[in-house]
Amino acid sequence: MGETPRRIHLVRHAESVWNSVRRVQGNSCCAGLSPRGIEQARMLGRRLGAMKFDAVFCSDIERAVRTARLALGEDCPIEFSHELREIAFGTWEGKLVSELEEEFPGAMERWFREPSSVNIDGAEPFMEFHARVAREMDRIIGSTSGDLLIISHGGVICAWLTSLLGMHPDRIWSFSLPNTSVTTIMLEFRPRMRLFGDASHLDAATLGFDGMPSGVK
């Protein structure tokens, strides 16, 4: 109780070209940031410049890496982690959401209601993804001290939140996070949410689309 509380700042990457047209990304590395995403990352940088953190971790997928470098600069020390990647969507990756709804009627709705019940060819099983995220976050927090900045993906952040808050993994889409939003968890006598999905550093023109659960984005 007497220890200084730690702050874990979780940031979703900036908007990618695929985000902007609602194309499923998952672990795909071929989708760069959109023009709006580049501006989001720069605006995020101004916000991060006023924040305190002792170490930075980031997914090694390009859209997250580019977000981190635009926001923090090329010289900022960052540990890139393969384990902070978004869930791999197998044969769904690269397809528009509208195409999937037509090709697999009802599958998208099941994914948002009960993702553990959906089997996608070539995809990472949902429960394995959930366990991967929790394991990596435990590793990062356990091997560091002080406040952390973690730049990753919507699905990764939401998966950890369900784990942290004792929610069933299938409740992952109870959360919706705008691109470059900041979520802050305080680690004290128990984890406490201080800030959730905050995108106040963006204006109306740069906020982008925020109506879809983050996992396919």
Catalytically active residues, by annotation? 13, 86
Closest CA to 185 of 215, 216, 158: 158
**Burial letters 170-179, b for 16+ CB under 10 A, else e:** bebbebebbb
Contacts of 51 (CB under 8 A, 6+ apart): 9, 149
Contacts of 49 (CB under 8 A, 6+ apart): none
DSSP symbol at 3: S
End-to-end CA distance of the chain: 39
- How long is the chain? 217
The strand pair at 182-187 and 6-12 is best described as antiparallel
With beta carbons less than 8 A apart as the criterion, state whether 154 and 177 touch: yes
DSSP symbol at 147: -
